[in-house]
Amino acid sequence: MWDAGWWSRRVGKPDGSREIIMRRLGLACVAALLCATTLTVISGTTSTAASSTPVAFPSKPKGLKAPVTLPKDVDPASAYVPQVACQPGTPRGVALTRDLVMRTYGVGGAGNTARSCTEGVSEHADGRAWDWMVDVTKPSERAAAADFLAWLTKDGGTNARRLGVMYVIYNEKIWAIYRAKEGWRPSSGHRDHVHVSFSWNGARGTTSFWTGKVQPVDYGPCARYSGQPGVVNGQARTSPCPALTALVRKTSRSTEELGSRAATVRSAQTALGVKVTGTLDTTTRSALARYQKAHDLPPTATLDQPTWSSLVPASTTWDAAGSMTSSEAARYGAKNYPTTLGPWATGKSVLVLQVALAVPRADRNGYLGPRTVAAVKARQQALGRPVTGRWSKADWAALAAAS
Ligand SMILES: [Zn+2]
C-alpha cells in the first residue's frame, strides 16, 4: 500500500501499521477480547480465501447516489500518490464524501480527517484521508460498511474511480484502486473503522461523481529537496512534480512537523519569537510559513533542513558552497553553470549564486525565491546587463569579470 523506495526516504510507518500500533497502545487491555469477539462474529459469514472480502458483502449494494448526472467516461484509476506535505485539513471532496456516507447509512461516527504530521507517511497528514467509525463487531455498522465497500469496489472499482478513492482498509484487509486486480489483500487493524484514502482529485472534489465530468489528474503538492517535506499547496496541479534536488545544507537537527514535541522545538520557537510551548503547534506552524516566505525557503511550514540551517545557523553541519567567498562563488558559477536560473530554481547552483550576490546568510537556501530574484535584478542593473530576474551564463561571466 505504499511505494517502498519512496518510503525509505521518510521516517515513520504506513497508515495501516501506524493505526494498529496506536490501538495497541490505547486498547491493549481489551485487544484479546475484541479479537475473539471479531472472529466469532465474522467466522460464519466470510471464507478464508486470500482474496476474500473483509466482511460478507451484499450482492446488490445500495451505495451512494451521485448529486449529478454521471458522464459515460470514468475517471482514471489513481496511482499510489503518497503524502508528502504537512497540511492537515478537510478538503471539499473529503467533507462531501463523509457527509454523504453519514447521510446515506446513518450509522457509525464521522471520525477523523485532519491530524498532526508526526505519525509517519499518512494521507491524514495532508487532509486526504477519512476514518468512518464503523465497528466490525456491531451488526448494523458492519452491514453499512459492507454495503459501502461492496459498492465502491464492484466492477473493478468504477465507483472508487468516480469518487477518487485511492485505497480503503477494513477489518485487516486493504483494497487499492491501483492494485484492483488483486482484490482484497491482508493488512492490519482497522476493526473499528473504515480508513479511506483519496486521490487529490477525490480529496478536492473534482471527480466526475461530484462535477459530472472527468477532469485532468491533480498531482498534489511536491517536495523540492530530496527527503524533505513537500511544499504546502491547496491548488490543483496538473503537471507531475519537478525532479527532486539534493539538499544544499545539512544540519544536526531532525525535521520536525506539526505536533512534534522534540526538545529542539523550543529553540525554534525562541528564534521565531513565538510562545515557547515545546510543541510545534499551529501558531508555530504559521510563524514558520511566514519565516520561509521572508527568507526564500520552500514553504513547507515545517522545521525541515533548509529552515533549520537558516533559522539556527549553528546547527549547520555541511554546506554545498563550503566556505566560498563571493568572488570565488562568482568564478565558480561562471565556470560550472551554463544553464539560466529562473524563479523557483533549486539546488547548489542557486546557493552559489546567493553567495556570489552576497545575499544575507538567512536567505542563502538554494531556492530562487523573491528575495534572490530582487538581488539578481539589482546586480544585473549594477553590471549594466538586461534586468530580467533570470541569471544567465552571460550574467555569470559579467559578475566574474567584475569580481
Ligand atoms: Zn485512517
- Write the DSSP assignment of 25-61 as a string of letters: HHHHHHHHHHHHHHHHHHHTT----TT--SSPPPSS-
Cα 187 to ligand 1 centre (Å): 13
d(Cα 273, Cα 265) in Å, to the nearest integer? 12
Cα 170 to ligand 1 centre (Å): 10
pLDDT in tens, 168-213: 999 999 999 999 999 999 999 999 999 999 999 999 999 999 999 9
Least confident of 48-52, 59-63, 384-388: 48-52
Cα 31 to ligand 1 centre (Å): 19
Q: Is residue 226 part of a domain?
A: no
Mean pLDDT across 367-377: 97
Quote the pLDDT of residue 45. Answer: 38
d(Cα 303, Cα 117) in Å, to the nearest integer? 12
* DSSP 8-state symbol, 14: -
Q: Is residue 244 part of a domain?
A: no
> What's the Cα-to-Cα distance from 308 to each of 109, 221, 316, 330, rounded to whole Å?
40, 21, 8, 26
pLDDT in tens, 287-332: 999 999 999 999 999 999 999 999 999 999 999 999 999 999 999 9
Residues 330 and 310 in one domain: no
Using the 3D structure, point to which of 158, 193, 211 is the last residue of a domain.
211
Residues 11 and 97 in one domain: yes
Residues 331 and 314 in one domain: no
Cα 196 to ligand 1 centre (Å): 7
183: left (phi over 0), alpha (psi -120 to 50) or beta: left
**Given the C-alpha cell 451505495, which residue does it identify?**
63
Q: Is residue 94 part of a domain?
A: yes
Q: Is residue 228 part of a domain?
A: no
Mean pLDDT of the chain: 88
In this structure, how many other beta carbons lie within 10 angstroms of the beta carbon of residue 181?
7
Cα 132 to ligand 1 centre (Å): 8
Residues 47 and 164 in one domain: yes
Q: Is residue 241 part of a domain?
A: no
In this structure, how many other beta carbons lie within 10 angstroms of the beta carbon of residue 186?
9
Using the 3D structure, point to which of 211, 230, 259 is the last residue of a domain.
211
Mean pLDDT across 117-141: 94
Quote the pLDDT of residue 114. Answer: 66
Cα 370 to ligand 1 centre (Å): 38
Residues 313 and 388 in one domain: no
Question: pTM here?
Answer: 0.82
Contact partners, residue 36, CB within 8 Å, separation at least 6 = none
Cα 28 to ligand 1 centre (Å): 19
Question: Both ends of the chain: CA-CA distance in Å?
Answer: 54
d(Cα 317, Cα 144) in Å, to the nearest integer? 54
d(Cα 43, Cα 31) in Å, to the nearest integer? 18
Q: How many domains does the chain have?
A: 3
Closest to 84 measured CA to CA, from 262, 227, 296:
227
304 lies in which domain range? 249-319
Residues 166 and 20 in one domain: yes
Look up the CATH number of the domain holding residue 268.
1.10.101.10
Q: Is residue 236 part of a domain?
A: no
* DSSP 8-state symbol, 184: S
∠ CA 126-296-289, nearest 5°, is 40
Q: How confident is the model at residue 136 (pLDDT cuts 50, 70, 90)?
A: very high
pLDDT of 48 above 50: no
Quote the pLDDT of residue 120. Answer: 85
In this structure, how many other beta carbons lie within 10 angstroms of the beta carbon of residue 14?
19
Q: Is residue 227 part of a domain?
A: no
